[in-house]
Amino acid sequence: MLVGVMGAGKTTVGELLAERLGTAFRDTDADIEADAGKPISEIFIDEGEAHFRTLEEAAVKSALASFGGVLALGGGAVLSERTRAVLAGHSVVFLSVGLSDAVSRVGLGAGRPLLAINPRATLKHLMDQRRPLYEEVATFTVATDGRDPVEIADEIVTLLKP
Ligand SMILES: Nc1ncnc2c1ncn2[C@@H]1O[C@H](COP(=O)(O)OP(=O)(O)O)[C@@H](O)[C@H]1O
Ligand SMILES: O=C(O)C1=C[C@@H](OP(=O)(O)O)[C@@H](O)[C@H](O)C1
Ligand SMILES: [Mg+2]
């Protein structure tokens, strides 16, 4: 399981990690979009963030019940106490990232509805609010600033070795 704020690289590193481990990859955001038949930005507009969080909680629960590969979570999935409880007992990697790298990676926040207005200030606020939650669920923390996704995936492979 990969957790961390938007722009930490969960989706990108998750795909590479699954390749390295020879296993499947899933992303709860993609699962939610497939089920809803529309992009996350439209779910936020049509039904609101609270509804998205309900779908997200169900998506994590269902993926963890039926799937043994690499799972990237959305950045806000850890806001749910039930999700944090469900993550216990799994290998959870917190991809950490500083504000400047996160801002440059997400650009103007296209496709990320929470970053539609003032992405830098919003990301800073979300990082401060969520860091303790990422740390709470993490088995390992991997710093990503200035590092290539391939190198990060390789480090995780090493950390996961028994
Ligand atoms: N370590 C990295 N270094 C540079 N760019 C990265 C890194 N990880 C991800 N990116 C880029 O940042 C953007 C956000 O990555 P993504 O994997 O979608 O993050 P997340 O799923 O955590 O929000 C993508 O354009 C991706 O190519
Ligand atoms: O941090 C958040 O609250 C969100 C992160 C996004 O996923 P990524 O972290 O993969 O960008 C996506 O789930 C949605 O836009 C909300
Ligand atoms: Mg993602």
Residue of 31, 105, 148 best suited for mutating to test ligand 1, as the one with most atoms within 8 Å of CB: 105
Nearest to 61 by CA among 77, 39, 43: 77
Q: Which two tokens stand for residue 154?
A: 């390789």
pLDDT of residue 118: 92
Question: Running DSSP on this structure, what letter comes out for residue 72?
Answer: E
Contacts 24+ apart (CB under 8 A), 132-137: 133/78, 133/79, 133/84, 134/3, 134/4, 134/5, 134/78, 134/94, 134/96, 135/94, 136/78, 136/84, 137/3, 137/78, 137/84, 137/87, 137/88, 137/92, 137/94
pLDDT of residue 162: 79
Enumerate residues 6+ apart whose C-beta is below 8 A from 149: 9, 12, 13, 16
User: Would the CB of 141 count as within 6 Å of ligand 2?
Assistant: no
Identify the bridge partners of residue 70 per DSSP, sorted by sequence position.
25
Domain regions of the chain by residue span: 2-156
Residues with CB under 6 A from ligand 1: 4, 6-12, 72, 105-106, 144, 147, 149, 152
- CA of 68 from ligand 2 middle (Å) equals 22
83 is in an annotated binding site: no
pLDDT band at 89 (very low <50, low <70, confident <90, very high): confident
Residues 41-75 have pLDDT tens digits of: 999 999 999 999 999 999 999 999 998 999 999 99
Dihedral sign (CA 49, 109, 129, 72) = positive
Ligand 3 is an ion; its neighbours by CB within 5 Å are 10-11
To which CATH superfamily is domain 2-156 assigned? P-loop containing nucleotide triphosphate hydrolases (3.40.50.300)
ipTM: 0.99
